[in-house]
Structure 1
């Protein structure tokens, strides 16, 4: 799909980290980017910096998401590129030791449901709402393409570590959405893919550099090659290529420097 000047895009979680870099990368290609986030100050600042728009959207709330899409389309037109980075979850072992009782305790079902809503259900919500808008728009090329949707999974989808039973399984579910959704949307010319980032130098990880330099060095050394954390711009580069290349469909990409995560 040719990414033309003024084409609309939506990036959830675009106020920070991988979403922020991707919003900037798409804007550099001439796209009008709508950032969905709940960090209003950072979101508004970044949107202004890249010539886009900011919309306060809670991805776990249906009405908030619907309103966000309507506002973004009113400002920029129908999005042709959607990247879903935002998520919320909890962590914990299935069964863990309870210091208070000296016995064992179970990870509450409510905690699991919270993560499933914040990762898996939200991914479906954003992807399906975007697909509906794309389906009701005209194709942009001779292939009949109407748009590209990219979801963010994680290497934890395949290498889930101790304490990641929620995160790992729900990110695996994100990958599980890709092929059936791509097939559901094939007659409409809408592509669906996902990316599984490894360890990236997001603000959360960069904070470790000063707090625990030894662990920081160990993390960098754990990546086979290149021996460093991924740069958010490298994630953004892949997002742009997925949007550009019309033959990329129904695929899950690992972007991880060949790392395979150990149990812990």
Structure 2
């Protein structure tokens, strides 16, 4: 699918991997809507790239429907959905005092990362399936963001790994489900990237993490994630695939 003049939605578009993806889409000529809970930051990025900011909580159906409608009003119906929004978590299943971890913490992470991603995807897909077909019968493309934690979850990452593992498991059946509508589905599973959250860590910690990557021994650049995301949109034969983007990293238990 050509990117120029296509309407695209990027969740989590106000920062990190989402912001890099939004900027890359705009640079390629796409009309970008940034969906984020951080309205102020989303508006700033949208202004810089000529896009539109839409306040959105992906776990809330009414919020997503309103954001999709606003994006469509500004740019027309979207054919591209980049699911990048997500949250992290690191909590052991047994606390230091011997009490069990709070169920609410687990549920919150799964609700945002997995159920939220599914929520916006089902609403996007239903609208996209009604659009006229393009070359090869294509109508749209959806990208999910998993993590290497889906495969190599570390101590304390039960909730995060479960949520990202759910996205990995959802990719192929969703691609098969939506094939009849000409909508492709792929997932990127990034490793250690230089996101704002990562950059909050002490420099020594960042350097130590980078050295755990076989090659290149540095944190991934958000622009590299964006490059792959855009390639998936443009390569019409990529479908139902989960791609690790990690420099051959395999996470240790801790």
Q: TM-score, normalised by structure 1?
A: 0.94
Seen in structure 2, the aligned counterparts of structure 1 residues 89 and 233 have a Cα distance that, compared at 3 Å, is closer
From 229, 247, 250, the equivalent of 1:239 is 229
In 2, distance between residues paired with 1:19 and 1:213?
Answer: 23
Report runs of 4+ in structure 1 exceeding 4 Å deviation. none
Contact 1:89–1:118 (CA under 8 A) maintained in structure 2: no
Would the alpha carbon gap of residues 111 and 18 (structure 1) be closer, same or farther in structure 2, given more than 3 Å must change? same
2:95 aligns to what SS in structure 1?
A: strand
2:219 paired with 1:225? no
What is the match of residue 101 of structure 1?
none
What is the CA-CA distance between 1:89 and the residue it aligns to?
5.1
Partner of 2:95: 96
State how many pairs are aligned.
254
- Give distance in 1, aligned partners of 2:200 and 2:109: 24
Match of 2:138 in 1: 145
> C-alpha separation between the residues in 2 aligned to 1:155 and 1:67?
32
Retained in 2: the 8 A contact 1:93–1:163? yes
Which consecutive unaligned segments of at least 5 residues does structure 1 have?
Answer: 99-103
Larger Rg: 1
Deviation at 1:91, TM superposition (A): 3.2
- For the residue of structure 2 that corresponds to 1:185, the secondary structure is helix
Quote the residue 2:166 is aligned against: 173
Alpha-carbon shift at residue 119 of structure 1 (Å): 0.9
Offset, 1:87: 1.7
Q: Are 1:260 and 2:242 an aligned pair?
A: no
SS of structure 1 residue aligned to 2:99 = strand
Cα RMSD, aligned residues only: 1.0
Deviation at 1:221, TM superposition (A): 1.0
For 2:226, what is the secondary structure of its paired residue?
Answer: helix
Structure 2 runs not aligned, ≥5 long: none
- Does structure 2 conserve the Cα–Cα contact (< 8 Å) formed by 1:89 and 1:114? no
Aligned residues of 1:59 and 1:87 also touching (Cα < 8 A): no
Pick one of 86, 109, 120 that aligns with 1:115: 109
2:104 aligned counterpart, secondary structure: helix
1:223, distance to aligned residue in structure 2 (A): 0.9
- For 1:183 and 1:81, locate their aligned partners in 2 and report how far apart those are by CA, in whole Å: 18
Is 2:116 aligned against 1:161? no
Q: Give 2:189's aligned residue.
A: 196
**What's 1:14 paired with?**
13
Q: CA, structure 1 residues 70+31, in 2 after alignment: closer, same or farther (shift >3 Å)?
A: same
Deviates more, 1:86-95 or 1:71-80: 86-95
After TM superposition, the score normalised by the length of structure 2 is: 0.97
Deviation at 1:163, TM superposition (A): 0.6
Cα contact 1:90–1:114 (8 A) shared by 2 = no
Equivalents in 1 of 2:89, 2:190: separation in Å? 19
